[in-house]
Structures are given as C-alpha cells and as structure tokens.
Amino acid sequence: IIPTILFVIFSRFRIRRETRYMLLGNALLSDLIYLLFYTLSAALNAARVHLPKEACVLLLFLLAVAYCGGLFTAAAIVLDTYIAILFPLRYIAILPPSRTKKIIVLLWMCSGAFPGIFFLVLSTTHSFVPCILEICSVPVILILTLNGSDALKLCFWLSTVVIFLCLSLIFCCYAVLYFKTKQSGIWESICSRATVTFLMHNTVLFFYFFPLLALFVESFLCINVATGLQTGIWVSLTVCSVLMILPKVLFPFLYGLRYREISASLKSIVRKKHLHLVS
C-alpha cells in the first residue's frame, strides 16, 4: 500500500503541492526505505551470507537514516497539524510549499547527521569489532551494544534520549491540541472524525514509543540483572522485527488512507480498472 499511496501523491499536482501530503509522502518514503533494507538484512542473515565490514556499516547507516527520517517526519506532521488547527488564517503564510520543501531537506540532513555522528564516534573508539560485524544483524548488534564498551553505551543512551524527546514533543502537541479544542464540540461523539483520528494517531505513536520502552527495560536488565545473552537476543529480535516494524505497517493505513483526497484517488484508479475490465 505504501508505493500505491506514494504514486497517488506524486502523480497528482494538486495533492503534492499541499504541505500535509508532502510530509506524508516523505514519512512513507522513509518507512519504505527502512522496510526494504531491514528485509534485505534479514534475508541475508537467513541465507547465512556474511557481508564485508564496509557493506555492513553502510547497511546499518542507511537503516539508521531511514528510521530517523520517519521519526523526524512524524514529528513534523504533528507540528503541521498543530499549526493548521491553532493558526488557520496564518497557516499558508507559515508553511507554504516552498518552505515545506526546505523543511524536508533539513529533515533528511538531520537524519543523516545524527547517525553519522554516532558511527563516527564508534569508528574513532574502535568499537566496531570484526566479530560483531560478521553477523550483520540489528538485534545481535543491539544486544552486543548494551553489553559493550562505555562508548557504545553512551551512544546508545544519547540516541534513546533524542528519540524520547521527539516522541515527547509529539505527545505534548497532541495534548495541547486536545485541550485547545475541547470546548469546540468536536469531541462530543465517540465516533466523530476528530475522536477517531485522535485515537488512531495516538495508537501509531504508542507503537513508536513502546519499542523505546522495551529497549529501556532491556538495557536495565542487562545492567542490573544477570540476563543471558540468548535472552537478550530474543528480546532484541522481538523489538526490532515486530515492535519497530508494526508502526510502519500501521502508518499508511491509519494516516494515509484517512485523507479523503488520497482515498478518492485510489477509488478512482480502482474504478477505472474495473470499467476497463468490464468493457
């Protein structure tokens, strides 16, 4: 469904000129890149293909960039909604399409800079041990990071803090939107569009937040409790292969298909194909 929504966004000039659809397309593109590279990594590990050190580092770097890109764009989508609701008359002046393009470029630059600093610290501290990189698996590398040197643990905690700040910003914006619009009457019905959209968005955000909480618990157990390496790998495998993938699977359905323009465009494509088959 992600390539289909991206096709609808980029193939229609009126849709791709709007800020919310540009940000949505960027988020879906980041998620698609992450899913493709993570699937490639899982397939190579299943086939027992050992990547060279440089290829493994590049694969891990691209995964980190794609994940940060999706997370930062999700925060930008919430800020866009925040500005659109609280400043409707000044929204076009604050976020015109030209400025949105610059914001998207800035998001990708930040998504590349943050993992770049992380990998630079690891390379200067010689923390990329060859025996780790022979198994180019994100869950295995994650659990070895939690049991690794102080530099590795410091980078892990800094990354966790940045992700936690992004998610906290998202939740705070949604909380402000709720209290600002509480008296407008759009929350009276449990089946209203505002209530359903609010619940769906917070469901996605919860699944973005829950893997972080699981990593906190895992790191706490690794530091304070003598957990076995196999247990840690199973926990990391569950976090990376299920909990971190789940919000990226739900995102196109709960965000993309909620927009009327995208749903109408998809329906028109299906109807055209259906009429063509009937004729």
Tens of pLDDT, residue by residue over 238-277, are: 888 888 888 888 888 877 777 778 888 877 777 765 555 5
pLDDT at 217 over 80: no
Whether the model clears a pTM of 0.75, i.e. scores above it, the answer is yes
Sign of the alpha-carbon dihedral angle for 195, 198, 203, 209: negative
Name residues whose C-beta falls within 8 Å of residue 219's C-beta, 6 or more positions apart in sequence: 146, 156
d(C-alpha 40, C-alpha 138), whole Å? 12
- Topology annotation, domain 1-272: Rhopdopsin 7-helix transmembrane proteins (1.20.1070)
Per-residue tokens: 79: 């800020």
pLDDT at 146: 64
pLDDT at 29 over 90: yes
Per-residue tokens: 51: 């990547």
Residues, the chain: 279
**Backbone phi, then psi, for 153, in 5-degree steps?**
-65, -40
pLDDT confidence tier of residue 131, bands split at 50, 70 and 90:
very low
pLDDT at 224: 59
Alpha-helical (H) ranges within the chain are: 2-11, 13-16, 19-46, 53-86, 91-94, 97-124, 130-133, 138-146, 150-180, 193-224, 229-238, 246-254, 260-278
DSSP state of 184: G
Residue 88: exposure state from Cβ atoms within 10 A (0-12, 13-18, ≥19): exposed
